[in-house]
Amino acid sequence: MRVVNIAHPGGAEVMEYLDRPDPEIGVGQVLVGVTAAGVNFMDIGVRQGNFWREIPYPKTLGVEGAGRVLALGAGVQGFALGQRVAWVYAPGSYADKVVIPAASLVPLPDGIDDRTAAALMMQGLTASHFATDFYPVQTGDIALVHAAAGGLGLLLTQIIKLRGGTVIGRVSSSDKVAAAKEAGADHVIVDRDGGFAEEAIRVSGGEGVHVVYDGSGPTTFQGSLNALRTSGTLAWFGPVLGAPAPIDIMSLPKSIKIGYPSFAHHIRTPELLLSRSTQLFDWVLKGQLQVRIGREYRLEDAAQAHADMESRASTGKLLLIP
C-alpha cells in the first residue's frame, strides 16, 4: 500500500510518500480502499507535532475520506464487500488502504459520490455541530462566520441559512467574496488584520451579532468578542493556529458566553454518527447543501496541499486522490 508518512514533526517537507505492507484487519474492523481523502487543519497540527503525541513515529497522516470495502474483520455486520463508505475520523487516511473500526463508518447513498462524501464528512459534521447543537441557530439570528470562503465556512454559512439565520462572512481577500456570497452570506467583510468588529456591529444594526464562529486564531479573538451583542456566544475553534491569551472571566463584557465546540461531541455514538451524516447527505441530495471542492491533488502531492492550505490562499475543500 502507499501512504503519506512523517518520521518527525516539521513543515510540509517532512511528509514522505512511501510503500508499506498492507495493514492487518482485527476484530470489528474493515479494510477500505481509499478513493478520496480530505485535507484538514487537524492534519497540519499532527504534522507540526501538536496532536497525536501519544502515537509513535512514523505516523501516517489524515483522518477523513471515502472508499470501498475490501475486506471484513471478524464480527463485522451491516457492511458488504464492495460497498461504498465514508468516515470522519480514522487516523492513517492519507493512504490507498486503511483499516477502520466498523462503528466509525457510514454507508454512502447512491446519489453521493466519493469525492463529495470525502469533502463533506469532517467539515460538514463540524458545521452541523456548530449551528444545530453547540449554538442552535434560530430564525432571525445574526451570525459572524470567519474564513467564510473556506470548506467549513461555506458549509456553515449554508446550514445557518437553512435554519433562518443571517450570515456576515469574513474573508481574507476580495477574490473570496464571490464564493462566500454564492454560499448564501448576506454580507461579506474583507479583512486580514482583525479590524472587522466595527463593520459587523454596523451591519447587524448597531447591537452586534448573536453568535461568532471563529477558527482564525488569536489575531481575531478580541474582535470576535467585540462583535457580539449582549448575551452573545463565541464559538472558538481551530487550535492549530494557536490559543488566545489567558482570560479574566470577570472582565468579559455584555454577559457573553465563550465555548470550544468539538465535532466529536456531535457524533459521540455510532447512532449519532449515522443520523448526523444521513442529515448531511439528505441536504445534499435535496440540493439544499452544496459542497465546493477547491482542488484535488494526487496522494503523492499531499505536501503541496498542506502548503496551499497554510497559505490561506485556497477556497473550498482540498482532497487527495490515491
pLDDT per residue over 76-132, tens digit each? 999 999 999 999 999 999 999 999 999 999 999 999 999 999 999 999 999 999 999
Name the β-bridge partners of 234: 212, 258
> At 202, which CATH number?
3.40.50.720
Nearest by Cα to 236 from 251, 208, 256: 256
Residue 317 is assigned to a structural domain of this protein: yes
Based on the domain organization, do 252 and 275 belong to the same domain?
no
Q: Which of 260, 287, 311 is the last residue of a domain?
A: 260
Return mean pLDDT, the chain.
Answer: 95
310 vs 64, residue with greater confidence? 64
pLDDT of the residue at 244: 82
Determine whether 146 is exposed, middle or buried from the number of CB atoms within 10 Å of its CB (0-12, 13-18, 19+). buried
Residue 125 is assigned to a structural domain of this protein: no
pLDDT of the residue at 314: 75
Residue 70 has pLDDT above 90, yes or no: yes
Q: Helix (H, G, I), strand (E, B), or coil: what is residue 248?
A: coil
User: DSSP H helical segments within 38-113, as ranges?
Assistant: 41-47
Tell me the average pLDDT across 265-279: 97
Based on the domain organization, do 302 and 256 belong to the same domain?
no
Residue 6 is assigned to a structural domain of this protein: yes
Residue 194 has pLDDT above 90, yes or no: no
**What are the residues whose beta carbons fall under 8 Å from the beta carbon of 263, sequence distance 6 or more?**
88, 122, 125, 126, 129
> What is the rounded radius of gyration, in angstroms, for the C-alpha atoms of the chain?
20
> 64 lies in which domain range?
2-120+266-321
Tell me the average pLDDT across 176-181: 95
Q: Which of 260, 277, 300 is the last residue of a domain?
A: 260
Tell me the average pLDDT across 33-44: 96
Residue in the structure block whose three cell numbers are 455584555: 254
Residue 133 is assigned to a structural domain of this protein: no
Based on the domain organization, do 30 and 113 belong to the same domain?
yes
> Cα(256)–Cα(283) distance, rounded to whole angstroms?
32
Tell me the average pLDDT across 164-181: 96
Residue 242 has pLDDT above 80, yes or no: no
Based on the domain organization, do 161 and 105 belong to the same domain?
no
pLDDT band at 173 (very low <50, low <70, confident <90, very high): very high
Based on the domain organization, do 95 and 58 belong to the same domain?
yes
pLDDT of the residue at 243: 76
Name the β-bridge partners of 101: 29
User: DSSP H helical segments within 131-220, as ranges?
Assistant: 151-162, 177-182, 197-203
Based on the domain organization, do 103 and 193 belong to the same domain?
no
Tell me the average pLDDT across 209-234: 95
Nearest by Cα to 147 from 247, 283, 41, 12: 41
pLDDT of the residue at 192: 84
**What are the residues whose beta carbons fall under 8 Å from the beta carbon of 129, sequence distance 6 or more?**
261, 262, 263, 265, 266
Based on the domain organization, do 168 and 254 belong to the same domain?
yes
Enter the pTM of the model: 0.94
pLDDT, one tens digit per residue, over 40-69 is: 999 999 999 999 999 999 999 999 999 999
Reading the block at residue 313, the C-alpha cell is 490562499
pLDDT band at 8 (very low <50, low <70, confident <90, very high): very high
Tell me the average pLDDT across 123-143: 98
Residue 184 is assigned to a structural domain of this protein: yes
Query: What is the domain count for the chain?
Result: 2
Based on the domain organization, do 214 and 183 belong to the same domain?
yes
Q: Helix (H, G, I), strand (E, B), or coil: what is residue 181?
A: helix
Based on the domain organization, do 46 and 67 belong to the same domain?
yes
Residue in the structure block whose three cell numbers are 480514522: 90
Tell me the average pLDDT across 239-246: 76
Residue 247 has pLDDT above 90, yes or no: no
pLDDT band at 193 (very low <50, low <70, confident <90, very high): confident
Name the β-bridge partners of 72: 30
Based on the domain organization, do 215 and 272 belong to the same domain?
no
Residue 239 is assigned to a structural domain of this protein: yes
